[in-house]
Structure 1
Amino acid sequence: MATALEALAPERRRQLRPLQPSGRAALSAGPGEPPLLDLASNDYLGLSRHPRLQEAAQRSIERDGVGAGASRLVSGSRPIHQDLEEELARWLGRERVLLYPSGFQANLAAVQALADRRSLVLADRLIHHSLLVGVQASGARLQRFRHNDLGDLERKLQQARQGDGTQRLLVISESLFSMEGTSPEVRRLTEICQRYGAALLLDEAHALGVLGEGGRGLGSGEAGIQLISGTFGKAFGSGGAFLAGDALLGEWLLQHSGPFRYTTALAPPLAAAALAALRLIQEREPQRRALLERAEHWRGALEAAGWHRPAGSGPILPLLVGDDARSLELQQRLEQQGLLSVAIRPPTVPAGTARLRLVLRQDLPEGSLERLLQALGSP
């Protein structure tokens, strides 16, 4: 372990850096430190400090305390948990929702519910680490298909069915890839899975609240998706996660899911804030649409300035740099100009694809794009 740490190159070494909110869409390293415009967090709709979320969390603290004190199956289940699950299920058009304390736990549970050691999992090459850990924990065999290449996926499904027509198949993808900003054609993805009798797990963590009809994600209305995984720590501005599926799968998770059974329930104040966010999102359709329009404007402006056009259409704009050290240099240059954007380096992204991960927030002040372009300079 010590040898491996010593061998870690400086440009690959991570550090924890405490930051605190400092005014509108800004963070600072501490008292007296200059504010940094937040172009890094996943608070896409700027809800984490919205008064309605804060008030809902505070009321929950006064009523339920800070923590649940036990798992949902012991004494940790509260009415707010059930209220959030039922309202979220109606909004998503799914029969059952179960809450989890984190997206990592939800993804572990989802894979283990849909695959076992006799299964074959076909996963997009760039799926989140938590999903890969879930595949490993399930004991299933793993095959990767090229990122968002549904033709490659179909060829692999066809080969799998020719080899064993009865084998349990699971396909895993995301609706908005957090480091790429890209999305698959979800309707076609669903159709391919149905054609070959494969279950589909879609991680909607970064899309919910932002993409799809009413912000319901790109899997909205697609009955062929067995499980949707989502989180409250991004556009919802709270914390925790959930799985959404049909009633049978929901009951199976309740009875058999280790990540659900053997963990303290989601903190009631987080559940209350997530419920307030869910209701707020449904009232803020114009703001959601404006965020996506702004993202397209930013992409065009970055391209016009000579940068590689960030892929996708959502609020995640990866600015590809390539070299690890250069990406850190750009991060530091932006910070000197009062902008926070974190350099993403391997192993989070493939070698040679280091980038600045630019994230739009609905509450960014006017002039933010001009500040960014000036700080970046020429490529």
Structure 2
Amino acid sequence: MEAASLPTSAAANPAVPLLDLASNDYLGLSRHPSLVAAAQAAAEAEGVGAGASRLVSGSRPVHAQLETALASWLGRDRVLLFPSGFQANLAAVTALADRHSLVLADRLIHHSLLSGVRASGARLQRFAHNDLAALEQRLQAARRDRPHQRLLVLSESLFSMQGTSPEVGPLAALCASHGAALLLDEAHALGVLGPGGRGLGYGLNGEGGQAEIALISGTFGKAFGSGGAFLAGGNLVMEWLLQCSGPFRYTTALAPPLAAAALAALACLQAAPRGVQLLQRAARWRTALEAAGWPRPPGTGPILPLLVGDDGCALALQQRLEDAGLLSVAIRPPTVPEGTARLRLVLRHDLPEGSLERLLTALGDPPCR
């Protein structure tokens, strides 16, 4: 395993003009005038930081406005804000599981969710990636062995290093049929996937005969172009989080400028959803990469992992793109399994015309084959 290192080009030498094919700013909102103006106005009116936790003196009107607007947009009872997605996932898992629980997790879930399982003290079993048959076998065995234990299933609606998505409707129905709570991390899907960019869990809140998702986690640091995160769910679990969750109660509140920018981003999404166009572009890129001899990147979203396999080849490919003025980062173990190093290409709504042609020229023929 090679040691991790920070990318040197974009961060350390901002004078080098690189086309960004690495960040999660999917909709190009981080520099949108309305978000910048909202953040500036909030900083001038409220200060840069909140100064305390929400339950002391950190709450601002913009926090409540954002929570209310998000809850309405997502069709959930309540929303609570967190300074980071990592904290939100810690809070979510520990709200739904304890040392008497069994957690069944997709094998490729994010590290923050695994950290939440460890913090909860629950037992952990993992099932094959997006394999509902494997999950069903584990659920059946769990109910047979301990009929009354609390079960929690963890998955994501768009896996950040694979670009893949589960069948969320059948996943929720399967969990409901075995009395298991489902926590769905929508961090990379919100703004892009689902009706109006509301994520793949939209509508699965137990109404109209739908199977229920107990909690949805999401972030503002990706398609929303800001920073911070949230949890959305029913009144009971959200009240428990407010009253009892350490990751919510004992941390400084989300910075007001970030909350204001996220609120402006939500208004942009509601006025003109951009996800459909981005998905259409992603389909064209996948087809072009496959036609050029590369393995077709899985999934349908804006994350296009170009599987290379060998760590050295992935790093060489990263350097080749950088030399051509393109920024994309090689992803290696332990972030992905051994032998599956990849170049993680990320599409954005605001990429200039001709970006695909530049990429294909820079990539050249597939290496290490």
TM-score normalised to the size of structure 1? Answer: 0.94
Q: Which AA in structure 2 matches 1:43?
A: D
8 Å CA contact 1:92–1:216 kept in 2: the answer is yes
> Which of the numbers 12, 21, 34 marks the counterpart of 1:52?
34
Counterpart of 2:53? 71
Counterpart of 1:130? 112
Q: Which AA in structure 1 matches 2:6?
A: Q
8 Å CA contact 1:36–1:338 kept in 2: the answer is yes
8 Å CA contact 2:10–2:18 kept in 1: the answer is no
SS at match of 1:183: coil
SS at match of 2:125: strand
SS at match of 1:12: coil
Counterpart of 1:297? 284
> Which of the numbers 239, 245, 262 marks the counterpart of 1:251?
239
Q: Distance in 1 between matches of 2:48 and 2:252?
A: 12
Counterpart of 2:10? 19
Tell me the CA shift for residue 289 of structure 1. 1.1
Q: Distance in 2 between matches of 1:91 and 1:339?
A: 36
Counterpart of 1:281? 269
Tell me the CA shift for residue 290 of structure 1. 1.0
Identity %: 74
Q: Distance in 1 between matches of 2:104 and 2:32?
A: 40
> Which of the numbers 60, 78, 81 marks the counterpart of 1:99?
81
Matched, 1:143 2:125: yes
> Which of the numbers 307, 310, 316 marks the counterpart of 2:297?
310
Matched, 1:29 2:16: no
The correspondence of residues 201-240 of structure 1 with structure 2, limited to 5 A, is 201-223=183-205, 224-240=212-228
Q: Distance in 2 between matches of 1:15 and 1:181?
A: 23
Tell me the CA shift for residue 18 of structure 1. 7.1
Q: Deviations over 1:314-349 (max 9, x none)?
A: 000000000001000000000000000000000000
The correspondence of residues 111-126 of structure 1 with structure 2, limited to 5 A, is 111-126=93-108
Q: Deviations over 1:14-60 (max 9, x none)?
A: 2254736xxxxxxx823xx3300000000000000000000000010
* Root mean square deviation of aligned Cα: 1.0
Counterpart of 1:373? 360
SS at match of 1:318: strand
Q: How many residues are matched? A: 360
Counterpart of 1:23? none
- Alignment gaps of 5+ in structure 1: 1-8, 21-27
Q: Distance in 2 between matches of 1:233 and 1:13?
A: 22
Q: Distance in 1 between matches of 2:241 and 2:354?
A: 47
Counterpart of 1:25? none
Matched, 1:161 2:161: no
Q: Distance in 1 between matches of 2:219 and 2:141?
A: 34
8 Å CA contact 2:9–2:16 kept in 1: the answer is no
Q: Distance in 2 between matches of 1:131 and 1:18?
A: 30
Q: Distance in 1 between matches of 2:75 and 2:4?
A: 43
- Alignment gaps of 5+ in structure 2: 206-211
8 Å CA contact 1:12–1:324 kept in 2: the answer is no
Q: Distance in 2 between matches of 1:222 and 1:164?
A: 27
Tell me the CA shift for residue 193 of structure 1. 0.2
Counterpart of 2:334? 347
Q: Distance in 1 between matches of 2:282 and 2:116?
A: 32
8 Å CA contact 2:10–2:16 kept in 1: the answer is no
Tell me the CA shift for residue 283 of structure 1. 1.7
Q: Distance in 2 between matches of 1:364 and 1:35?
A: 14
Tell me the CA shift for residue 147 of structure 1. 0.1
TM-score normalised to the size of structure 2? Answer: 0.96
Q: Distance in 1 between matches of 2:73 and 2:9?
A: 35
Counterpart of 1:61? 43
Q: Distance in 2 between matches of 1:361 and 1:248?
A: 37
Q: Deviations over 1:221-268 (max 9, x none)?
A: 002100000000000000000000001111100000000011000000
SS at match of 1:349: coil
Q: Distance in 1 between matches of 2:192 and 2:68?
A: 21
Q: Distance in 1 between matches of 2:278 and 2:306?
A: 18
